[in-house]
Amino acid sequence: MHMPQHADIRVALIGYGLAGETFHAPFISATPGLRLACVVTANDDRRRRALRDHPGVSIVDRADWLWAHPQEIDLIVVASPNRTHVPLAHAALRAGLPVIVDKPVAATAEQAQTLVEESRERGVFLTVFHNRRWDGDFLTVRRLIAEGALGEPRRFESRFERWRPEAAASWRDSAAPEDAGGVFFDLGPHLIDQALLLFGPVTHVYAELDRRRPGVVVDDDAFVALVHASGVRSHLWASAVAAARGPRFRVLGSQAAYTKHGLDVQEEALKRGERPGKPGWGEEPAECWGRVSAGDRDQPVQTAPGAYQRFYAAVVAALRTGARPPVDPVDAVAGLEIIEAARRSAAEAQVVALEFSV
């Protein structure tokens, strides 16, 4: 499905909460070839914010309007609560509308696979918003490994840790399976996606998932160990109860190691109201750069600029020219299979073996 070259791609954004307002709308608006045409929300405050941030955008209460008027829209972005991702994405595909789904694309790998299959059968574009492939520190890790600066990678440590000792009431803390709640479902898709992108398929999974705060009914502290077919071992942490954060990345290779503290700067910049396209977007101050070390040798390495805008630029290219999507939805299915294996491992307190296709 190729879009006309002469007109902007009209985007309908479903949801204007944290994901829609902070992570999607700014990049849709800043990407040449895209136009935020419609926001779907029934919340009065969010309607006001959407109109303030994007004057002239149409606001509708329900996604049903989109399926009834497919000629008015060229691309759907699903940024609503997790339980709505699958039904909304199926509805978009049935309407013949290309669709981007925020992570996690589904609550189960089986549900995600049904989306992949429908996308293929109908020939309609589908991708998943794994935006942290374009974190500056992750781009730096990919470059160092590709250049051989660390030698042969052996262990990959990756963390998304927060300090939120008091749980907030939200659907993300729901125990209902369809809500895909808990810190591991929230942050695990990013951690796993990055590990798979670097080191390939996984053969074995071990996990510890815990509830540390009083009254919570879903995990708020998680550790997962992956054994890749390549021989690399990935150790992944996600936590809401880390009063002191460990390094964001520590990559141990046969010749050197890369250690990086602190999170990519783009999220905080977006929350401050900064927008992509400004000079220095995604650039990290020198005092935050990671370091490559080997024994007594230790030197800073400039962090690549973070570039979430590249996701939406790749979407435009895919829709206009048939280029590959920025994220193959099959990758999201593989990540969900690992999440399910991790849950089995934690429940059974044992390692889970996986089958995979090369």
Those residues of the chain that have pLDDT short of 50 are: 358
Handedness of CA 86, 236, 264, 220 (dihedral sign): positive
The full DSSP string for 245-260 is ---SEEEEESS-EEEE
What does the alpha-carbon distance between residue 141 and residue 234 come to, in Å, rounded to a whole number? 14
CATH architecture of the domain covering 9-129? 3-Layer(aba) Sandwich (3.40)
What per-residue confidence (pLDDT) applies to 358?
45
What per-residue confidence (pLDDT) applies to 357?
53
- Nearest 10 degrees: Cα torsion 87, 36, 267, 224: 20
Largest CA distance in the chain: 65
What does the alpha-carbon distance between residue 26 and residue 320 come to, in Å, rounded to a whole number? 21
Counting beta carbons within 10 angstroms of the beta carbon of residue 85, is it exposed (0 to 12), middle (13 to 18) or buried (19 or more)? Answer: buried
Number of other CB atoms surrounding residue 269 within 10 Å: 19
Q: Describe the chain by its helix, strand, coil percentages, rounded to 5.
A: 40, 25, 40
pLDDT tens per residue across span 197-253:
999 999 999 999 999 999 899 999 999 999 999 999 999 999 999 999 999 999 999
Counting beta carbons within 10 angstroms of the beta carbon of residue 272, is it exposed (0 to 12), middle (13 to 18) or buried (19 or more)? Answer: exposed
9-129 and 132-306+338-353 have identical folds: no
What per-residue confidence (pLDDT) applies to 6?
58
What per-residue confidence (pLDDT) applies to 178?
84
The domain spans of the chain are 9-129, 132-306+338-353
Contact 18/129 with Cβ under 8 angstroms?
A: no
CATH 3.30.360.10 for domain 132-306+338-353: yes
Question: Tokens 């109109």 identify what position?
Answer: 51
Residue 205 dihedral angles phi and psi, to the nearest 5°: -135, 135
